[in-house]
């Protein structure tokens, strides 16, 4: 095969890709843009705080000490330095808090809300936006309900206290890490 053959193959591949008949080398099919929106932030907050009289949202920038403490407890570095904490109130009393997390699955971020009770137990996890071509099973209640009642004292590890979903291991890892991160952030902001 001479240099001219290489050019012909390149032109052929470009033509097929342009016509939508060739998607690229194996494995690149996951790079296509897919975005499934299951819940808006407003919708997720309604699920997190049913019947709330009001929901207050407050953006917090971590102090250097808070950031260091969070990273030490998690065992990995934070990618950002702010979080928005949503707190619901009903009849004047707090209904717990919720944070929106965004963690990378296989290639793309998964956006989800973690709602914790006043005593730091997970009450619900809702996947809001899923951007991968496979693994969206992590949005189903069958998967998310296993986080209920979990705290920072639980391992929150696949195949220990969180069951894996076949074909969605990286998504399961991402959501599990995000739930753990949310709980650690909320506890740290409380000074615990």
On the CB side of 188, CA atoms within 13 Å amount to: 22
Does one domain contain both 99 and 152? yes
* Whether residue 10 has pLDDT greater than 70: no
Does one domain contain both 18 and 38? no
* Whether residue 139 has pLDDT greater than 60: yes
Q: Tell me the average pLDDT of the chain.
A: 89
Beta-strand ranges (E) seen in the chain are: 36-37, 54-61, 82-90, 93-104, 109-116, 122-130
User: Structure pTM?
Assistant: 0.82
Q: 98 in the Ramachandran plot: left (φ > 0), alpha (ψ -120 to 50) or beta?
A: beta
- Tokens coding 44: 């997720």
* Whether residue 24 has pLDDT greater than 70: no
Does one domain contain both 7 and 77? no
**Range of 7's domain?**
1-26
What's the Rg (C-alpha) of the chain? 21
Does one domain contain both 44 and 110? yes
pLDDT at 42: 97
Does one domain contain both 73 and 112? yes
* Whether residue 182 has pLDDT greater than 90: yes
pLDDT digits (tens, 9 = 90+) for 26-84: 555 545 678 999 999 999 999 999 999 999 999 999 999 999 999 999 999 999 999 99
pLDDT at 192: 80
Does one domain contain both 92 and 183? yes
* Whether residue 156 has pLDDT greater than 80: yes
Count the Cβ atoms, other than its own, within 10 Å of residue 74.
16
pLDDT at 4: 60
Does one domain contain both 86 and 163? yes
Give the C-alpha separation, 131 to 68, whole Å.
30
3-state helix, strand, coil in the chain (%, to 5): 35, 25, 35
Does one domain contain both 16 and 64? no
**Number of domains making up the chain:** 2
Beta-strand ranges (E) seen in 14-70 are: 36-37, 54-61
């Amino acid at each position: 095969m001479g240099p001219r053959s290489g050019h012909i193959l390149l032109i052929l591949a470009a033509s097929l890709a342009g016509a939508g008949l060739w998607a690229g080398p194996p494995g690149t099919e996951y790079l296509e843009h897919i975005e499934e929106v299951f819940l808006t932030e407003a919708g997720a907050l309604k699920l997190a705080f049913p019947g709330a009289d009001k929901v207050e949202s407050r953006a917090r920038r971590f102090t250097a000490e808070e950031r260091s403490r969070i990273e030490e407890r998690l065992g990995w570095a934070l990618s950002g330095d702010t979080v928005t904490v949503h707190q619901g109130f009903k009849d004047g009393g707090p209904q717990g808090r919720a944070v929106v997390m965004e963690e990378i699955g296989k290639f793309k971020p998964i956006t989800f809300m973690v709602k914790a009770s006043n005593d730091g137990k997970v009450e619900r996890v809702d996947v809001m936006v899923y951007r991968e071509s496979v693994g969206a099973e992590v949005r189903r209640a069958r998967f998310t309900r296993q986080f209920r009642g979990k705290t920072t004292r639980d391992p929150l590890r696949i195949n220990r206290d969180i069951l894996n979903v076949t074909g969605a291991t990286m998504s399961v890892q991402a959501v599990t890490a995000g739930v753990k991160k949310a709980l650690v952030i909320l506890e740290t902001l409380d000074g615990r």
